[in-house]
Amino acid sequence: MIRKAGLFLAALTVLMLGFLQLTYGLGYIARVYIKQDANFDDFYWKPSVSIYAPTPRKLRPANFDIEGVEKAFEADANIIDLHDFLEKSGTTAFIVIKDGVQIYESHFRLHEPGEAVATFSVSKSAFSIVLGRAIEAGLIEDIDQPITHYLPELEARNSEFSNITLAHLIDMRSGIEYDKSTTFPFYNQDEPLVYYADDLRKNVLKYPEIMEPPGNFLYNNYNPNMLGLALERSSGKSLPDLLQEELWSQFGADYDAIWSTDYNGFPLLESGLVAAPIDLAWFGQAMLDSANPDTIDPFINQEWYERSTQFTSESNFDAYDGRQWAYKNGWWLILRPDGPPDYAAIGRFGQFIYVSPRNNVVLVRTGIDTIGLGDGDFTSAFYAASDRLSNRSGH
C-alpha cells in the first residue's frame, strides 16, 4: 500500500512538473520561488543588453553650492540635516541641477560616482521618450491607434482589446487587469509573469485580461511591454537598437548603461534600465530643455513634451497632502496652484528623476530602500526645496 502511494505521488509530481514546464518553463518557476519579490540588485543575475554612451563625452557645467542645497532642504521640518536624512533613508546617490548647472552631488552606502543602479519604473519614462521619437520618425503612425493594429493576437483572444489605444497604454488607462500581489502560489500572477519572464513577447499576448473599458487609471506593467512589442513590429528594428539610437545616444550620456531583458533578449521596458545617477540627472535636464522651443535638436519634440507634462482633467486621479497627482506618457505630474506642473520618473526603492520647470531644477535620488518613506514624502520635499532653490516659497 505504501509503495503504491509512493508511486502515485511520484507520478503526480512528474505530471505537475510536466504541466509547469509546458505552461511556464521550469526555469521561470525556479526564479519565482527562489527570488520571490524583486530586489534592487536583481540586474546582477538577469540577462541584459548594453547601451553605450556616445563619444566624445559632453562637457557638463558644474558650480557646486552644497550649503545652498542643504539650506533648501533643511528648511523642511522633517529634514534636520540633509546628509543624515539621505543616508538614513537608504539613498545611494543624490544630485541637483539648477539652471542647467550641476550644483550638488553626494553618494552613500559605498556607491561610487558613475556606478550604475537599477531604476525600476523610471524605465517607463525613458521608454516613453523612445516611443515619442518613434512616432515623430513615422515608425508608429498614431498614438490613438488601437493596439490590435500591431498585435492582432490580442483581438483574436478578445475583441474588446480593439478598444484599447496606444495612448491608453502609455497613460495607464487601458482597463487591463493587473494584480501586483506575490502570494503563494504566485507563479501564475501578473507581476512575476512580467518581471521574471522567459519570453515576455509571448506573455504580453497570452496573459493580459480586460477588467473594464479603458479610461480609469490602473498602473500596469503589461502596458509598456505591449507598446514595445508594437514598436518592434512596426519599426522592423530591435528594441535594444532603438534604446541605443533614440535614447542613450540622444541626450549625451556620460556612462554606458544596461537594460535587463527576458531570456529571449526582449528588454523589460517596465523596469529594466540600469544607469549611473548622473546620467539620470542629465536625462532629466534634456527633458526640461525640450520645453524651450528655441532648443536646437531637442530631446523630444514640443508635442510629445506637452503631452507628457501638461495636466488635463482626465489625467487627474489622486491627491496627496493637498496636492493633486496625475500620470501622462509614463511620467508622474505633481500639480502646482499656478504655472506648469512638476513631473517625475519614479521607480521602486525610491528612484527619482524630479523636474521642476517653474524653478528650472532637476533632482535625482537613487537608493536601495526608502526606510518607510513614500513617494509622496520625497516628492513633497523636492517640491518645496525646488521653490527654495529659486527663492520662492508658499507654492
pLDDT in tens, the chain (395 residues): 666 555 555 544 455 445 555 568 788 999 998 998 999 999 999 999 999 999 888 889 999 999 999 999 999 999 999 999 999 999 999 999 999 999 999 999 999 999 999 999 999 999 999 999 999 999 999 999 999 999 999 999 999 999 999 999 999 999 999 988 766 568 889 999 999 999 999 999 999 999 999 999 999 999 999 999 999 999 999 999 999 999 999 999 999 999 999 999 999 999 999 999 999 999 999 999 999 988 888 999 999 999 999 988 766 667 655 567 899 999 999 999 889 999 999 999 999 999 999 999 999 999 999 999 999 999 999 999 999 999 865 44
C-alpha cell recorded at residue 32: 519565482
CA distances from 59 to 102, 282, 295 (A): 12, 12, 17
Q: What is the model's pLDDT at position 24?
A: 85
CA distance 188 to 279: 36
Q: What's this model's pTM, rounded to 2 decimal places? A: 0.93
Residue type, 275: A
What letter would DSSP give residue 124? H
Q: What is the model's pLDDT at position 395?
A: 42
C-alpha cell recorded at residue 207: 496573459
Condensed to tens digits (0 to 9), the pLDDT of residues 380-393 reads 999 999 999 998 65
CA distance 131 to 74: 39
CA distance 330 to 169: 9
Q: What is the model's pLDDT at position 6?
A: 56
What 370-375 contacts at long range (C-beta under 8 Å, 24+ apart), as own/partner pairs, is: 370/89, 370/90, 371/88, 371/89, 371/90, 373/89, 375/332, 375/346, 375/350
Residue with C-alpha cell 502609455? 170
Q: What is the model's pLDDT at position 394?
A: 45
For residues 225 and 268, is the Cβ–Cβ distance under 8 A? yes
CA 226, 26, 184, 42 torsion-angle sign: negative
CA distances from 151 to 157, 192, 242, 264, 330 (A): 11, 22, 19, 19, 21
Selection from 349, 335, 359, 338 nearest residue 284 by Cα = 359
Q: Could you give the domains of the chain?
A: 1-36 (no CATH), 66-118+276-389 (3.40.710.10)
